[in-house]
Structure 1
Amino acid sequence: MATFSAVTRQHILQAIAEYDTRGPEDFLGVYGFEPSPEYALVHEGRRYDSKAVLGVAHRYATGRIALSDEFHGGMHAAATVLRKRGFEVDEPRSTPGAAPRPAAGTARRAATATRAVRKPAVPERVAPICPTCSTTLPGTGICDYCG
Structure 2
Amino acid sequence: MATFSSVTRTHVLSAIAEHDDRGAAAFLGVYGFTPTPGVTLTHEGQAYDATALLAVAHRYATGRAALPEEMTGGKVAVGTLLGKRGFDVTGAPSSRTTARRTTASRPATPRKAPEPEKPTPVCPSCFMALPATGVCDSCG
Is 1:65 aligned to 2:65, yes or no? Answer: yes
Is 1:122 aligned to 2:100, yes or no? Answer: no
SS of residue matched to 1:47: strand
Specify the alignment match of 1:80 in structure 2. Answer: 80
Between the aligned partners of 2:75 and 2:19, the Cα distance in structure 1 is 18
Between the aligned partners of 2:92 and 2:61, the Cα distance in structure 1 is 28
Unaligned runs of 5+ in 1: 94-111, 113-119, 124-147
The one of the two structures with greater contact order (alpha-carbon pairs below 8 A, sep at least 6) is: 1
Q: What is the Cα deviation at residue 68 of structure 1?
A: 1.5
Distance 1:8 1:92, change over 3 A: closer
Specify the alignment match of 1:9 in structure 2. Answer: 9
Q: What is the Cα deviation at residue 79 of structure 1?
A: 1.0
State the structure with more CA Rg: 2
Specify the alignment match of 2:20 in structure 1. Answer: 20
Unaligned runs of 5+ in 2: 105-140
Between the aligned partners of 1:92 and 1:79, the Cα distance in structure 2 is 5
- Deviating beyond 6 angstroms after TM superposition, the runs of 4 or more aligned structure 1 residues are none
TM-score by length of 2: 0.65
Identity of aligned residues (%): 58
Distance 1:71 1:92, change over 3 A: closer
TM-score by length of 1: 0.62
